[in-house]
Chains A and B, each alone.
Chain A
Amino acid sequence: HQAQSISKWASLKVLLRAAWLGLNVFLFVYYFLLFDRDKKFYYTRVLLGSALAWARASAKCLNFNSMLILLPVCRNLLSFLRGTCLCCRRTMRKQLDRNLTFHKLVAYAIALFTAVHIIAHLCNFEWYNDSQQAADGSLSSILSNLHQDEESNKWLNPIHTNSTVSTPAYVTFTTIPGLTGVIITLALILMVTSSMEFIRRSYFEVFWYTHHLFIIYFAGLVIHGIAGLVRGQTAESLNKHNPEHCAQDPRYWGGNNTDSHCEEPEFGSIPAELGGTYSCFADVPFLQAVVHPSKVLELQMHKKGFSMEVGQYIFINCPSVSHLEWHPFTLTSAPEEDFFSVHIRAAGDWTENLIDTFQQQKPKTPRIEVDGPFGTASEDVFQYEVAMLVGAGIGVTPFASVLKSIWYKFQHADQRLKTKKIYFYWLCRDTGAFTWFNDLLASLEQEMEESGKTGFLNYRLFLTVWDNSVVGQAAFNFDNDTDVVTGLKQKTAFGRPMWSNEFSAVATAHPRSVVGVFLCGPQALAKSLQKCCHQYSSLDPRKVKFYFNKENF
């Protein structure tokens, strides 16, 4: 029985080793072919030959193995850092022995790939330097001279100056990847020589303390890949300049020659990890930007792979306004819609600049970057038979998303929607900044009429700041169908709602329901709502109950 389990374990080990080896081979071959064949790197290959592919493929394998090497010693890593392992010495050691063999195997792989990587980069630096120094009008020297003087970041050859100071060694020690590369290689070599079996068994402390250099190794490794020294042609430039055709006649680049449509090629860093940009920071292609009255900007966007829930928010960055600022905005669209939108109100210099940029209507729409969505989704809103939604001021924004979503679900008879009636209370000083929400309510009102479900949504708007003229207007237009302020069927009320009245009305109308109360607004309001919830909830479990939810938005 023991022999069986031993052989089973042995075959599992063999399987894992084979899988690891297979993954290494696959990674190497895949990235080698990518860098050796892709059109993006056509001109890079003119300068560097196949050394580019060797360097990059081995880099990927190095990343993979570096991630893996900590895994077998992970459990012991903490105690390693602490310096002692007092308990369970023997059982720890047994486990350790099994994992150590794998750790050593991965270490050998790292050493091998490091050697390949360094040799390839030695060639790269030497050949970049040669191309820079050459003045023979060859394709390499032309490519190296492109975009060298401008401020733009479009050059191909990272070695810029033409002086004798610029040797490969100089470039190595004055660039981040070069310097970090040297440091981490030294750390690796010291770790390897001190872990030779002889040293380990005889002078364990040398091995132990030197192996802590792994911290430097990993820190340096992360930094090493960040600066993109090896570059490829940008996608934009590939559209205007096809290397396979244009490489033959570099004299005609960018000229007015109508035969060849070759603009000057432009280059950019290809990030070390993926073939493109990180998806969360990808450019977001627009559908529309709408400017509402009172300086409110609505951005409707569409992004592949973006999925949201009600009540979530996203961070927005607009490089033409500010490169570094990211601002959060609640999503105002429903998940059921095929775009996502935010409404941005002018509330500070960034928002004002953003709105101005869009209002100017430049021929090229400003680029936007989006990160998110964040925030806990509030699915609870759909769980209550009766929902009382209270939005105060800017807090009405998440309810745009909620209301739209509820309406979509209601129309499609979504089983997840248990809500039969919604009471929506909108409190604000003036509707100016929320005209868009107004329009939303109006359109909902209309749709409800058309589908004959007028009773579904019951909303009240409360203007908390009013003066005599407003009241006068309201009194004068009392008999009109639509409200003079909002144009909605429901009449605007002035002042703050009397919650006790509201709650008792709801309790009377729905004597046996569970009512969910949702608030997005100030703390004081939360307190009074909570009090009302307690007051009007019946002790009898079969009768009406109010549950207060505040934290979701």
Chain B
Amino acid sequence: MGRIEWAMWANEQALASGLILVTGGVVAVAAQFKGWPFAAYAIAAGVFVCLLEYPRGKRKKGSTMERCGQKYLTAVVKVFGPITRNYYVRAILHAALAVPAGFLLSTILGTACLGIASAIYLLAAIRGEEWNPIEQKPQERPQVGGGTIKQPPAMPPPRPPADTRKKPPAEVAGQENPIPVTIEAE
């Protein structure tokens, strides 16, 4: 489990908690349960958490799948700099947000889930992870003819002298795939 990035799972968990908080809050406010102001708070907190957690951070290794339409929120979250980049801050923030919702039964599930997310973020922070925004890749230069026309090389490729033209011994094979390759067997 050495390569795991806990922040990714914490992110999923926190997003789910946000949704649960909102749902619980809506039910309590709509049916006017006792103590519904807590539920109103839970709705606000849930929405905030969802917005904060929606943009997925960039993985250290490999490419990250973006969530649909997350680039707008990424721009906003990026603005806050170290506050949103550091996971300690997120852990404490989520823990603090979770507490008031624990006073009402409808939102207590949201509290528990957000609490778990906060714990996982703490673990991520301890292991030195950080939130980095997913940047858009720079646009490639549009090629003439759609890239099918290639100019022939002007110079021959440099060749080493004949006696050094030996096969190197088989080393550690190849490269690490930048994009994870999965075999789709069918």
Contacts and interface: CB of A to CB of B under 8 A. Distances in A.
The answer to whether A binds B is yes
A226 interface: no
Interface in A152-206: 167-169, 172, 182, 185-186, 189-190, 192-194, 196, 198-199, 201-203, 205-206
B118 interface: no
Given A126-B34, A168-B105, A169-B108, A206 B182 contact: no
A172 B28 CA distance: 16
B112 interface: yes
18 contacts: A90-B185, A122-B105, A123-B31, A126-B31, A130-B34, A168-B105, A169-B104, A185-B109, A186-B112, A193-B12, A193-B16, A199-B8, A199-B9, A199-B12, A203-B3, A203-B4, A205-B4, A206-B1
B89 interface: no
Given A169-B108, A201-B180, A192 B16 contact: yes
Interface string B1-31: 1011100110011001000100110011001
Contact of B1 (A126, A192, A205): A205
A125 interface: yes
Contacts of A94: 185
Contact of A193 (B9, B34, B105, B182): B9
What does DSSP make chain A's interface, helix, strand, loop or mixed?
helix
Contact of B20 (A167, A189, A194, A201): A189
A122 B16 CA distance: 19
Contacts of B3: 203
Contacts of A465: none
A94 B62 CA distance: 26
B92 interface: no
Contacts of A182: 108-109, 112
A46 interface: no
A119 B1 CA distance: 37
Interface of B: 1, 3-5, 8-9, 12-13, 16, 20, 23-24, 27-28, 31, 33-34, 56, 59, 62, 65, 103-106, 108-109, 112-113, 116, 180, 182, 185
Contacts of A198: 8, 12, 56, 65
A119 B25 CA distance: 11
Contacts of B112: 182, 186
B12 A203 contact: no
Given A193-B12, A196-B12, A202 B59 contact: yes
A318 B103 CA distance: 48
A512 to B, nearest CB: 71
B109 A118 contact: yes
A115 interface: yes
A199 B7 CA distance: 11
Interface residues of A, number: 32
A190 B114 CA distance: 11
Output the residue of A126, A182, A190 with the most chain B CB within 10 A.
A126
Nearest to A210: B9
Contact of A169 (B4, B56, B105, B182): B105
A190 B13 contact: yes
A93 interface: yes
A132 to B, nearest CB: 12
A552 to B, nearest CB: 56
Contacts of A201: 180, 182
A337 B31 CA distance: 60
A123 B24 CA distance: 11
A81 B103 CA distance: 38
Contacts of A185: 109
A283 to B, nearest CB: 39
Contact of B116 (A90, A123, A190, A206): A190
A203 B5 contact: yes
Contacts of A199: 8-9, 12
B27 to A, nearest CB: 5
Contacts of A172: 105, 108
B8 A203 contact: yes
Nearest to B16: A193
Nearest to B184: A97
B63 to A, nearest CB: 10
A119 B23 CA distance: 9
A98 to B, nearest CB: 11
A189 B8 contact: no
B62 to A, nearest CB: 7
Contact of B27 (A122, A169, A189, A192): A122
A168 to B, nearest CB: 4
B4 A115 contact: no
Contacts of B182: 201
A99 to B, nearest CB: 15
Contacts of B13: 189-190, 193
A196 B59 CA distance: 16
B131 to A, nearest CB: 16
Contacts of B109: 118, 182, 185-186, 189
Given A167-B34, A189-B113, A198-B65, 15 more contacts: A115-B23, A119-B23, A119-B27, A122-B24, A123-B27, A169-B105, A185-B109, A186-B112, A189-B16, A189-B109, A190-B13, A194-B9, A203-B3, A203-B5, A205-B1
